Amino acid sequence: MSGSKALGGARRRRTRCRRCQACMRTECGECHFCKDMKKFGGPGRMKQSCLLRQCTAPVLPHTAVCFSCGEAGKEDTVDTEEEKFSLSLMECTICNEIIHPSCLKMGKAEGIINDEIPNCWECPKCHKEGKTSKDGGDGSGKRRMDNGEVGRWKLTDDPPPTKKKPPSSLEDGGRQDGHKRKKEKELPQDSGPKKKMKGAHEKRLKKKQKPNVSETAESNGPNSSTGGGQGSGGGSNSTQSPTSTASQDQRSHHREKLERFKRMCQLLERVRESSSSSSSSSESDSESDSDSPSGSEGRRGSEPSSPVPVTYSNSARERNRERDRERDRRLAELGFSASEDSEGSVKEEEEEAVEEQVVGDKPRRRGEGPPRGRKGLTTDGNDEESGERSRKSTPLPPPSPLSSTQPPPSSGHGPSPGSEGFSGKRSNGSETRNGRTRAGVRDRETQEKENANNSSGGSVANHRHGTGKGNKGNKIRSNKQTGSQPTSRNSSNSSASTATTTSNGGGGAGSNFSGGMSALAASPRSQPSRMAPRSQMMKRSPPAVPSPPRPVQMERHLVRPPPACPEPHCLPLDSGSSHVMPRDVWLRVFQHLSQRELCVCMRVCRTWSRWCCDKRLWTQIDLSRQRSITPPMLSGIIRRQPVSLNLGYTNISKKQLMWLINRLQGLLELNVSGCPWSSVSALCQAACPCLRLLDLSRVEDMKDSHLRELLAPPADTRTANGESRGGRFQNVTELRLAGLDLTDVMSRLLVRYLPHLTKLDLSQCGNITDQTIHTLTSPMSPLKDSLTHLNLAGCVKVTEQCLPLLRRCASLQSADLRSCTLLTPDACQLLSFPCPDDRVLLKNS
DNA sequence: GTTAACGTGTCG
DNA sequence: CGACACGTTAAC
């Protein structure tokens, strides 16, 4: 549905980085945008940020996710630059698609990285297809808007707006100008706005239908970013070419100028403030004329135009070049387009694995509530959104943008090579603009609303707890406004990003990537040759303003506690009266709905939204096989505090899992089957004393040593008690280890650390032998009395000898010995012991 | 719900 | 082409 559109393709507005100097400074109060602000006594109509506060490195909103895998940027979880790059989200200036380079399916692809804007590039796909951002040549990374325009945040190589006056003076100029206007409008109060609105709307609509200019441009666009924009009919680079598309170009040009001007202001400011700009990677604006699209050099020239010092020195330039070269080389080596193929196959395998999964995650036994369809947890609107997304993608293993329901990106960009039609794009863009109509957005809104609902009280479980430093990310704004130097911004940022790990004390345990990501990361491509025109490829000199590390989404996602106020007991109707059915009755109805349906209900009205969030309706949450676990999903889980959580076969990361587990202290059942050990290892640092069921079936790469790590009590505990008492999961009564590559060593761990185990699933563990059964049932083993169910199906090394051993289990009710090929056919069965007295090994029954 | 401000349309 | 206006989005 439309929901998918919320993903890639659709343009995403960027937001300030909050870290650059511009962001950190306070409003000047003097520029005309400031003067327009209400707080400075203005009418507040312009709604623009202070000229001196124009962010120099606008970032993707933290809600941005990869078009392909649906996950957020994860660059902060790896160390090497290459990895960081391939795991960060990159937004294409041409197709607007946001994707992890590592998720790209294109082989040998080459992308052009925009050094000036964080997470910005011309994706390999577009580049390969010869699409170029109009400004192609300059490589400044201007992003093409839906209508072919260039976003304001794109830097340009235009000659510096020298003509413009510095901020102060400018404001004056503009002021007067605007003044007139304002007067006109202010006097007739409404006339102005009204008139405009009407017109605007109509026109906007029209515009949206307009055929893509970009298309045209693209078609003739000479391609490579280096190529001078001139030739292309499209919006040549900043210099507006007098072509038919002029109007748009002009607009962009215009905007670019504005941009440049703003930047100039900043630069000036900065120069003033800090004598030496460390990041002086720029060449003067005047110099970096986009018009000189000559090869990489030309492009380079433009780069510097970025937010940096107006004055540059040759040495600085040299440094730049060197850096560029260096980066080129590195990236070329990396062949940054992560290996698509391998990824695909991995995913497929995963899917297959899912199919054969024996220990189903489906067996939802926490009966308590009426049966409900699970799948697709949807928490708030958000979850719904993500759920929707994953649902969609799930059926199609290789998450190709094409497959996804996203028209725009797919057409323009999908992995499918020859796609050209940008037609979809435009329409898409429009939709984006009308965002509100998009399901995804709606969902978000819903959630937001709900959150808002519940907020107030205090954002409790927000991940920042844990560290002492994370106090107050919220005050930033006020700080800013009061003029206090928000020096804390940086720290608050970083603290936020570390909070998660800190809280689990696992900060250092660098979270590895799991699932599909691992495949990517693993791809060892290192053929420099891949990148043809290296010079223009992957240029990635350190951004003038170091792009602020994107905080992991989830960390910034607030998880608010349920509202303090009691839930309404009745449903208010428009008429003013209340619906005859009180809350309790409604809840009974809701109990019969699937989680998905509940999410739909949550969008009906606020009251229903709250009711549907009732924990009783969400005792079990099943996210199994959701291709990606998104921050909203995580917070949705936390809010619902399920008793049973199924994360089987998801790509949840270690960090996410840690974050989650540490906030689900009441969790009784956890299923992480099919997840990579690199993620599951998060449990080694978690504490879930209540856990009763742990499903580790088919955890990828899980070994005996891992199990030990998992079950053994924390080191400090051990030393404290001298001897390890119970392990971390000592209260677990049901453990599923199906399909793992474990040996008999494992049995000793179980005996030692899981004394209360009643149900043990060792099916498909091909390496275990009778020794395991012996250990489990030995006189010294507490399990010999506790075990009631033992699954040894498919344990091909188990022999007849285990049968007498099993008899030693006093409480054993069933033993599954099917597919144990060393047993006689007769013995290969599901042995059951209905009542204690009959507990005899029924080899033949 | 509120605030900041981005992105784009419109006017002069 | 610059300035202004404002719907919409992001963050809180």
Start-end ranges of CATH 3.30.40.10 in chain A?
15-129
Over the stretch A420-462, which tens digit does the pLDDT of each residue have? 333 333 333 333 333 333 333 333 333 333 343 443 333 333 3
Nearest amino-acid residue to C1, taking CA and C1': A254
CA–CA separation, A741 vs A23, rounded Å? 52
pLDDT at A782 over 80: yes
Q: Which residues sit close to strand B, CB under 7 Å?
A: A 11, 13-16, 27, 37-39, 46-50, 53-55, 58, 145-147, 149, 151-153, 181, 195-196, 199-200, 202-204, 207, 251, 255, 429, 433, 448-449, 452, 477, 481
Over the stretch A733-759, which tens digit does the pLDDT of each residue have? 999 999 999 999 999 999 999 999 999
**pLDDT value of residue A98:** 86
**pLDDT value of residue A131:** 64
Name residues 430-449 of chain A with a Cβ under 7 Å from nucleic strand C: 432-436, 438, 441, 444, 448
Range with top average pLDDT, A129-143, A154-168, A287-301: A129-143
Which DSSP string do the residues of A783-802 spell out, in sequence order? HHHH--EEE-TT-TT--TTH
Any atom of strand C under 7 A from CB of A202?
Answer: no
**What count of other Cβ atoms lies within 10 Å of the Cβ of residue A258?**
17
Over the stretch A40-60, which tens digit does the pLDDT of each residue have? 888 888 888 888 888 888 888
Distance in angstroms: CA A498, C1' C5:
41
pLDDT at A610 over 60: yes
- Beta bridge pairs of residue A644: A620, A669
Over the stretch A645-701, which tens digit does the pLDDT of each residue have? 999 999 888 888 888 888 888 899 999 999 999 999 999 888 788 899 999 999 999
Q: What 3-state DSSP class applies to A622?
A: strand
Q: How confident is the model at residue A583 (pLDDT cuts 50, 70, 90)?
A: confident
Q: Which pair of tokens denotes residue A485?
A: 């130097």
> What does the pLDDT average to over A228-252?
37
Which nucleotide, over all strands, has the C1' atom closest to the CA of A476?
C12
Any atom of strand C under 7 A from CB of A477?
Answer: yes
Nearest amino-acid residue to B12, taking CA and C1': A181
Which residue has tokens 């499918």?
Answer: A416
List all residues 6 or more positions away from A116 whose beta carbon is below 8 Å from its beta carbon: A57, A140, A141, A154, A155, A303, A305, A306, A307, A543, A544
Any atom of strand C under 7 A from CB of A48?
Answer: yes
Architecture of the domain spanning A703-713+727-844: Alpha-Beta Horseshoe (3.80)
Percent of chain A predicted with pLDDT > 90: 13
**pLDDT value of residue A141:** 38
CA–CA separation, A249 vs A260, rounded Å? 16
User: Chain B positions under 7 Å from a protein CB?
Assistant: 1, 3-12
- Which long-range CB contacts under 8 A does A37-43 form with residues at least 24 apart? A39/A481, A43/A182, A43/A186
**Superfamily name and number for A15-129:** Zinc/RING finger domain, C3HC4 (zinc finger) (3.30.40.10)
Q: For every residue of A550-589, which 3-state class applies, written as one string?
A: CCCHHHHCCCCCCCCCCCCCCCECCCCCECCCCHHHHHHH
**pLDDT value of residue A608:** 81
Specify whether the CB–CB gap between A124 and A99 falls below 8 A.
no
Least-confidence region, from A202-211, A353-362, A584-593, A607-616: A353-362
Which nucleotide, over all strands, has the C1' atom closest to the CA of A480?
B4
User: Chain C positions under 7 Å from a protein CB?
Assistant: 1-12
Which nucleotide, over all strands, has the C1' atom closest to the CA of A11?
B7
Specify whether the CB–CB gap between A630 and A553 falls below 8 A.
yes
**pLDDT value of residue A310:** 32
Which nucleotide, over all strands, has the C1' atom closest to the CA of A452?
B1
CA–CA separation, A493 vs A464, rounded Å? 11
Nearest amino-acid residue to B6, taking CA and C1': A13
**pLDDT value of residue A733:** 95
Q: Which pair of tokens denotes residue A462?
A: 């927000």
Specify whether the CB–CB gap between A553 and A100 falls below 8 A.
no
**pLDDT value of residue A334:** 37
Start-end ranges of CATH 3.80.10.10 in chain A?
703-713+727-844
Range with top average pLDDT, A405-414, A605-614, A828-837: A605-614
Q: How confident is the model at residue A142 (pLDDT cuts 50, 70, 90)?
A: very low
CA–CA separation, A9 vs A148, rounded Å? 14
Name residues 248-287 of chain A with a Cβ under 7 Å from nucleic strand C: 250, 253-254, 257-258
Distance in angstroms: CA A765, C1' B7:
58
Which nucleotide, over all strands, has the C1' atom closest to the CA of A164?
C2
Enter the pTM of the model: 0.43
Specify whether the CB–CB gap between A619 and A368 falls below 8 A.
yes
CA–CA separation, A716 vs A814, rounded Å? 38
Q: A624, exposed or middle or buried, with CB in 10 Å at 0-12, 13-18, 19+?
A: buried
Q: How far is CA A842 from CA A201, A690, A814, A827, in A?
A: 78, 35, 10, 8
Distance in angstroms: CA A499, C1' C12:
19
Distance in angstroms: CA A234, C1' C2:
22
Least-confidence region, from A121-125, A244-248, A307-311: A307-311
CA–CA separation, A18 vs A41, rounded Å? 25
**pLDDT value of residue A744:** 93
Greater model confidence, A244 or A22: A22
First to last CA, chain A: 52
